[in-house]
Structure 1
Amino acid sequence: MKIYDYQVKDAKGNLVSMSDYQGKVLLIVNTATGCGFTPQYKGLQELYEKYKNKGFEILDFPCNQFGHQAPDTNDEIQNFCELKYKTTFKLFSKIEVNGKNEEPLYTYLKSQKGGFFNRNIKWNFTKFLVDKDGKVVERFSPATKPEKLESKIQSLL
């Protein structure tokens, strides 16, 4: 399968085909509203505002698997992000990124850029950069600030 073969649920529970994002550069991020990395929402929004009209999308997948740092409902998460960080990029339904209930999209992402021994996501704000052809080109640790990705995003646009 390819990335465009997957379907995911948006924050309202509607199915969204990843094929809707064909031809765009994607940054796919698992997030949490109560995480030490949560202020990265600001940098993510700045990147989105700068490049959204050039074919760049951020796909935000809240995840409560790490320290229970995203316990709220999808609506509460969306309200928090919009009010505190003024986010306008796409929020999806809360998911699991590891284990038997992990989102199949994340199984795919990890298979593409996961390392030989440990494919599991270690924490929230792990980022996957996908090119216009749907190829997962790089995986970034939670500690990698969004602004550090700008030149890589520019090169793919």
Structure 2
Amino acid sequence: MRNYWLMKAEPAEASVDDVLAMPQATVPWTGVRNYQARNFMRDGMQVGDGVLFYHSSCAEPGIVGIARVASGAYTDPTQFDAQSPYFDAASKPEAPRWILVDVQVVRKTRNLTLPELRADAALVDLIVLKKGNRLSITPVEPEHWRTILQRLDCPDL
């Protein structure tokens, strides 16, 4: 069974346009430093899962693209790079703490903004809309996935 995810990226670090310009429109999803989000990548994500590409920490946060998980989980090298903002001195190569998956953008969409998401009664239980939720990766229910694709006039992956 296919799973669905919402993955947040700050456009200053990895915008949907940046990813579309990369080889095969694919980016390693580096820098996740939350254990629950890491566990979603490690234990829940599979190649081919659907991804809602979400811009956060910007003037108009929202879903800006449809993507898919393009690889299994593997070690995030930024945890070992002392020059990286994601460096983790406690993580060791023989026992890495942090992983990543590759994400491939399938299509850029209009920005389905946070106020639009909140105004849609069919999305009331979407995790990103829950008060206090700050996770960069959250699961998306199949009915929410279908509703969002409808709002964006996008076919399924």
Q: TM-score, normalised by structure 2?
A: 0.32
Q: TM-score, normalised by structure 1?
A: 0.32
Whichever of the two has the greater Rg, that structure is 2
